[in-house]
Amino acid sequence: MKNNHFIFSGHDTIELANKFGTPLYVMSEDIIRKNANVIVDSFKKQGIDFEVVYAGKALLNTAICCIIKDLGLGLDVVSGGELYTAKKASFPMDKIFFHGNNKSIEELIMAIELGVGRIVIDNEYELELLNRLSIERKKKSKVLFRITPGVEAHTHKYIQTGQEDSKFGIPIGEAEEIILKAYKMDGISVMGLHCHIGSQILEDRPYKVVSDIMMGLIKRINEKHRIKIHELNLGGGFGINYSEEKSLINMDEMINKISTLVKRVSKENNLGIPKIIIEPGRYIVGNAGITLYEIGAIKNIPGIRKYVSINGGMTDNPRIALYGAKYNAYLANKMNQNNKEIVSIAGRCCESGDMLIWDISLPHCEAGDILAVLNTGAYNYSMSSNYNRIPRPPMILLMEDRAEVIIEGETLDDIVRNDKIPSWLNN
Ligand code: LLP
């Protein structure tokens, strides 16, 4: 800590705020690489075929694609926009997994023509559509089937997805029939199964349960239909530590447990060991990002609450309003001060629900102070909006002692860029 300032990934955050302005998304390439390597190194110890696929929905832009490419990871995309971003970054198409419960015809054609590695089939309608589009283009699409294994993970209900009552995936009871049908299709090559039980999961038990269920299905498909399943993708969802939530997941132990189970069931049933794939998003970028804001208006209601307003809010971080997420923050220019007070951090949007943090203990806050909100790397920029016509802040990337802009901040002209005045009003 230099000059009482908060140091993030070796950088003085006050110097960053002065140089690049606020609000500012700050990402650390060093931390992203460290997080990814924890997973890859854990798998390497298992002596099995594996692939770590970064879930781009957590945060995607061309610079992040370049890091993921350089790390040798795969990439999970869920839209033409994410796929196009990967293409712009020259990401290897055969390492892309294309997800989504309602991919459009245009998106499927784009995926086939670009030669995307795996298309993850979500439902029977999509299977038939993809088969037809692939045959028309004289291609065979390699697919995984997204299965809902019937496991409910304990997380916010909007980010739970493994239970049967979900818009995603094929209920496990219908899986065999659909896979058998796909196996006979000329435009489809069945590679494996996929499941994803939810996000911000704090323990490893559900992953073990789900691996067991999925191995049971692989066994049945092999025994009854003589179809070999080459790949088992267990999705993402590995939780991180926010302010109150603490993840009990130890990556090394969890990967050991899953791999041991998959190897044992494969051996007992004379199945080849499937390649194990996981798709972490938050685990890789969540703690690699912080957001810097400047404090402005402060409103003290004696005996009730002190509201400290910042120059951002639900437009750059909608997770509090959406999920009641809880964040921790530092007053980045007053790290050594002990005169703490309890305040609530308010966003700048015209909405009472735009509160970033309720009741946090911080040194005495004044206008011009810089607030650093921690763990904002995942699902912040990617879910940001222009509500209230507020331009999105820029994002910088830190790498060792370097810091560069990787997404320009939006301007007021960007805000009106797509507006059109109809002929009858334009005089
Ligand atoms: N794979 C699939 C198929 C997914 O649907 C997701 C997340 C992931 C991987 C990556 O999950 P992660 O490792 O990042 O938890 N907006 C919510 C999270 C939604 C997650 C959607 N799917 C949030 O801000 O908490």
pLDDT tens column, 268-323: 999 999 999 999 999 999 999 999 999 999 999 999 999 999 999 999 999 999 99
Residues in the chain: 427
Q: Ligand 1 centroid to 356 CA: how many Å?
A: 21
At 166, the pLDDT band (50, 70, 90 cuts) reads confident
pLDDT at 216: 97
pLDDT at 17: 98
Mean pLDDT of 239-243: 94
pLDDT at 164: 76
At 193, the pLDDT band (50, 70, 90 cuts) reads very high
**CB-based contacts of 243: which residues, under 8 Å, 6+ apart?**
326, 327, 328, 357
pLDDT at 63: 98
pLDDT tens column, 121-137: 999 999 999 999 999 99
pLDDT at 162: 66
pLDDT at 205: 94
Among 1-10, 146-155, 276-285, name the one with the lowest average pLDDT.
146-155
Express as a percent the part of the chain with pLDDT over 90. 93
**CB-based contacts of 325: which residues, under 8 Å, 6+ apart?**
242, 319
Phi, psi torsion values for 293, nearest 5 degrees: -130, 160
Going along the chain from its start, the domains and CATH numbers come out as 7-26+286-411 (2.40.37.10), 99-280 (3.20.20.10)
**By three-state DSSP, how is residue 412 classified?**
helix
pLDDT tens column, 94-105: 999 999 999 999
pLDDT at 151: 78
Candidate from 64, 202, 204, 279 with most ligand 1 atoms within 8 A of CB, to mutate: 279
pLDDT tens column, 208-231: 999 999 999 999 999 999 999 999
- Judged against a pLDDT cut of 80, whether residue 1 lies above it is answered with no
Q: Ligand 1 centroid to 198 CA: how many Å?
A: 7
pLDDT at 70: 98
- Judged against a pLDDT cut of 60, whether residue 159 lies above it is answered with no
pLDDT at 152: 66
Q: Is the pTM of this model over 0.95?
A: yes
At 30, the pLDDT band (50, 70, 90 cuts) reads very high
| First-last CA distance in the chain | 60
> How far apart (Å, rounded) are the C-alpha atoms in residues 300 and 308?
8
Express as a percent the part of the chain with pLDDT over 70. 97
Mean pLDDT of 255-268: 97
pLDDT at 155: 60
pLDDT at 44: 98
At 153, the pLDDT band (50, 70, 90 cuts) reads low
- Judged against a pLDDT cut of 70, whether residue 2 lies above it is answered with no
Measured by CA distance, the residue closest to atom 6 of ligand 1 is 236
Show the ligand 1 pocket: residues with CB < 6 angstroms.
Answer: 55, 57-58, 76, 99, 159, 196, 199-200, 235-238, 279-283, 319, 323, 378-379, 383
Candidate from 57, 97, 170, 194 with most ligand 1 atoms within 8 A of CB, to mutate: 57
Q: How far is CA 111 from CA 78, 105, 123, 245, in A?
A: 11, 10, 17, 37
pLDDT at 37: 98
> How far apart (Å, rounded) are the C-alpha atoms in residues 213 and 204?
15
Burial class (CB in 10 A: 0-12, 13-18, 19+), 144: buried
At 154, the pLDDT band (50, 70, 90 cuts) reads low
Q: Ligand 1 centroid to 160 CA: how many Å?
A: 9
Mean pLDDT of 3-10: 96
- Please list the active-site residues: 350
The beta strand positions in 122-203, using DSSP E, are: 141-148, 170-171, 188-194
